[in-house]
Amino acid sequence: MNRFDNKVVVIAGGGSGMGRVSCQKFAAEGAAVGVVDINEAGAAETVRLIAEAGGKAKAYKVDITKEDEMKKLFSDVVADFGRIDVYFTIAGISPVGTATTTEFEDFKKVVELDMYSVFLGCKYSIPYMEQQGGGVIIVLSGTYGIRPTPNKIGYSAAKAGAISLTRSVAIDFARSNIRCNTICPGFVNTPLNNGFEGEARQRFLNTYQPAPFEIQSEDIANTALFLASDDSRAITGQTIVVDGGTEAALYLNYKRPSAK
């Protein structure tokens, strides 16, 4: 028996990258998957790949920063599948800028997508989870929400807020059998980072990441599967860092050996 047989999993940002891989992995474990993305074509392609592999999924085009759309999303999922067992929110943006170089409108955009959307997802998924006796919420944050890095004020602030929201939800709804945790990836080999390649990419990995390999989307998806499963039933309100040891170290002073 698969871990997620008869479960319904909703994944925001499921149209590409880590989101698509996560959708595929949950479906392979038996879940019916709601693939949420503002990119309709991307969500449809994820659904096609899942169906091709024998899984069950449906695409939902949603702007996760819009309250009316988020409210309708969970209502539609319950109408389509009967319940919501897991909500995993992945979508986000990562602009650069300091307090003086970032325009206020751009700051608001990253806070809306990386933090406000987390609040909306919790607000409108939790009532359904309470009615059915429990559920799991997983928030993709980032290590810059733990330790800000230069030139990333909006992203770092929004992700720190998302981590705090995760903890609040966890303690407010633990007695309703609802768990909420956040995953903080380090540098992950996804399409989002395709522009960061070559010597600069290798120098970053050599300097900051102790683990001698590039973290893949599958590493994040596997962490989400564990946190969504009954194997982690005692884990809630936690920040799970998946970064090859980067956040644990101030810097490295040795050259990383080549991966075998």
**In this structure, is residue 208 part of a structural domain?**
no
Burial class (CB in 10 A: 0-12, 13-18, 19+), 198: exposed
Q: Are 99 and 89 in contact (CB under 8 A)?
A: no
**In this structure, is residue 206 part of a structural domain?**
no
**Cα gap 70→34, rounded to integer Å:** 13
Averaged over 234-257, what is the pLDDT? Answer: 81
Q: Are 9 and 85 in contact (CB under 8 A)?
A: yes
Looking at residue 228, its pLDDT comes to 98
Looking at residue 244, its pLDDT comes to 87
**In this structure, is residue 260 part of a structural domain?**
no
Looking at residue 6, its pLDDT comes to 96
Give residue-wise pLDDT tens across range 116-160. 999 999 999 999 999 999 999 999 999 999 988 889 999 999 999
Say which residues have a Cβ less than 8 Å from residue 46's Cβ, sequence separation at least 6. 14, 15, 16, 19, 20, 23, 24, 35, 37, 57, 59
**In this structure, is residue 39 part of a structural domain?**
yes
Q: Which tokens is 179 given?
A: 């768990």
Its pTM stands at 0.92
Identity of the amino acid at 134: G
β-partners of residue 216 are 189
**In this structure, is residue 121 part of a structural domain?**
yes
- Active site positions, annotated: 155
Q: Which domain holds residue 85?
A: 8-192+216-242
Instruction: Indicate which CATH number applies to the domain containing 171.
Output: 3.40.50.720
**In this structure, is residue 50 part of a structural domain?**
yes
Total domains in the fold of the chain: 1
**Cα gap 223→3, rounded to integer Å:** 14
202 pLDDT higher than 80? no
Question: SS3 for 37?
Answer: strand
The DSSP 8-state label assigned to residue 56 in this structure reads E
Looking at residue 187, its pLDDT comes to 80
Angle formed at CA 181 by CA 231 and CA 22, multiple of 5 degrees: 75
**In this structure, is residue 102 part of a structural domain?**
yes
Question: SS3 for 208?
Answer: helix
Q: Are 124 and 166 in contact (CB under 8 A)?
A: no
**Cα gap 136→227, rounded to integer Å:** 8
**In this structure, is residue 209 part of a structural domain?**
no
Give residue-wise pLDDT tens across range 31-45. 999 999 999 999 999
